[in-house]
Amino acid sequence: MRAQERQKYILNSIQKNGFVSILEAAAALDVSDETIRRDINLLQEKNLLKKVRGGASSIKLPYRKEREYLRPNSDNQPERIAICTAAAEMLHSGMVVAMTRGVAMTTLAGLLSGLDDVTFIINSLSLADELLNRIKRAEISANILMTGGELSPQTHCLTGSMTTDTLDTYTFDISFCTCTALSAEGASVYLPADSACFSRIAKRSAVSVLLVESYKLGKKSTCTYAKLSDFDRIITDNKLPVPENILKAIENTKTELIVVEYA
């Protein structure tokens, strides 16, 4: 059995059970204990699991500080671009589009082209800058509507009751959301202020789309803002398998799961 197949088995076992035993994996795959240990060491070096006595367990997503939440993760850039490319294909001229903040959103904005008379409703200054760049280069023709609210110096976003009140007055043709983590219970973020805004954007749209890299699957963060059933489509990448409990939860909803290949 190839190393890639063994390592996929290890990761699947961890995502299903939270732990994989070296002895049980070696017996199931008919290889030596030492072979499984080497696989676990390699996966730990890639930050895909944590070695523990007798095997390996999942890496729980820490509750990150805001500056860490904002920092782009270049290690996941190929997956993010693949996800955002699939998302960009869902946009058409004349749409009213809502977008949450996040690195994936600025990536998505940077991929847009050939759109006319699109209205974007956002609360992120960074996202506004990226969209304005596309407009100035005549890549798209669009209007940008910023919500009201209190400007956060940490996130460069407008938040608070004025922001949520503004979002409550709109309905959207399509919305794009991100999350810090995704479990069978739903999509979660670190900041309560984000949770309030993201929830409105996800639930007030004719079509709601969640963009989530596979490394965030099977984890939880501080604030759950939407259930899986609140999204019409969930787009992720195939670097890591989708946990069984998430697949099972999606089966009972109208949500479409889209798994894209990354370069």
Q: What's the whole-model pTM score?
A: 0.74
Cα 43 to Cα 15: distance, rounded to the nearest angstrom: 14
Tokens of 186: 């739903």
The pLDDT value recorded for residue 38 is 93
- 42: amino acid identity, one letter: L
The pLDDT value recorded for residue 203 is 93
pLDDT tens figures, 199-255: 999 999 999 999 999 999 999 888 899 999 999 999 999 999 999 999 999 998 999
| Between 48 and 189, residue with greater pLDDT | 189
Q: Which of 123, 115, 186, 189 is nearest to 150 (CA)?
A: 123
The pLDDT value recorded for residue 63 is 43
Evaluate if residue 61 carries a pLDDT over 70: no
| Distance spanning both ends of the chain, measured CA to CA | 24
CATH class belonging to 66-260: alpha beta
Architecture of domain 3-57: Orthogonal Bundle (1.10)
Pairing of strands 172-177, 205-211: parallel
- Give the pLDDT band (50/70/90) at residue 75: low
Cα 43 to Cα 23: distance, rounded to the nearest angstrom: 17
**Domain boundaries in the chain?**
3-57, 66-260
Cα 95 to Cα 174: distance, rounded to the nearest angstrom: 8
Evaluate if residue 72 carries a pLDDT over 70: no
